[in-house]
Amino acid sequence: MEGPSPVPIVGGTGALGFGLGLRLAREGVPIVIGSRSAERAAEAAGRIREQAPEATVEGLENPEAVRRGPIVLLTVPFRAQSENLTNLKDALEPGQILVDATVPLAAAVSGRATRLLGVPQGSAGQQAQEMVPEGVEVVSALHTVSAAALADLDHDLDEDVLVAGDRGEAKRAVAELIGRIPGLRPVNAGRLETARLIEGITPLLISVNARYKTTAGVKLTGLPDELW
């Protein structure tokens, strides 16, 4: 039986990207850590191998990394989203899915992390869809999972991941990938325009978690057992 395809993570040296890479790699998903620096990417890949010795993981510069798999995770701060997508225009190809986890926090412009910036397109996810090459599908997801919780393999996850996108097939592929991480339940949140609402949950969680000194996520009640 054929194993899962490699998953490139643009921004994989950052906290969220590294945590997702670590969790996925531990479940047998091949990971390609992407970075502007091949050296930093290789260093992060080495740290994943230290914690998950059986993992298949490599580190490459971002353009080379994104060519390695059909589903690409974009886990960079908002201030770096536009630059990264501009630099990846010649690397992303029609048929690929870009999972955008960007949150337009005011911290990107030296403001408060508990405040959301306005984005002309409506959301960071919609901005990403506007910037990717034609034929690349953007799915918005993974905004509400704590990077610290992901990186702590002793921490049992138990939360939902809201997934938004305009094409059901792309959302299902992303849901299948997210569902490989024990404790994460992907939930279909509708079209990409709902990314504006999903992204807004992140500063709310930052505020709550700062007050309670924890890493709480989102959990929806009353859903059926079969979501996809």
For 4-60, what is each residue's pLDDT tens digit?
Answer: 999 999 999 999 999 999 999 999 999 999 999 999 999 999 999 999 999 999 999
User: Higher pLDDT residue, 108 or 214?
Assistant: 214
Tokens of 209: 């978690």
Tokens of 170: 């792309």
CB-count burial class (<10 Å; 0-12, 13-18, 19+) for 67 = middle
Has residue 2 got a pLDDT over 80? Answer: no
Q: Which helix (H) or strand (E) holds 17?
A: helix 15-26
Per-residue confidence (pLDDT) for residue 3, from 0 to 100: 82
CA distances from 9 to 25, 72, 101 (A): 12, 6, 11
Banded pLDDT at 1 (limits 50, 70, 90): low
Find the radius of gyration of the CA atoms of the chain.
Answer: 16
Task: With CA atoms as reference, report the closest residue to 143 among 183, 201, 64.
Answer: 201
User: Higher pLDDT residue, 185 or 1?
Assistant: 185
Calpha distance 92→134 (Å, rounded): 10
Task: With CA atoms as reference, report the closest residue to 142 among 108, 97, 112, 207.
Answer: 97
| Mean pLDDT for all residues in the chain | 97
Per-residue confidence (pLDDT) for residue 109, from 0 to 100: 86
Question: Integer distance in angstroms from the first to the last C-alpha of the chain?
Answer: 23
**Residue 169, Cα to own-chain centre: how many angstroms?**
18
